[in-house]
Structure 1
Amino acid sequence: MAHPFVSVPLGFSVMGTRTLWWGGCAWDSFALPLLLKDEPDVLVATRCPACDTPHA
Structure 2
Amino acid sequence: MTTIEDARRYREQEGLVGKGGVVVFFHGEIRGWVNRLRNPEHWQPAGIEVDE
> In which range does the TM-score fall when normalised by the shorter chain?
0.3 to 0.5
Higher RCO (CA-CA < 8 Å; seq separation 6+): 2
TM-score by length of 1: 0.32
What TM-score, normalized by structure 2, do the two folds share?
0.33
Query: Higher helix fraction: Structure 1 or Structure 2?
Result: 2
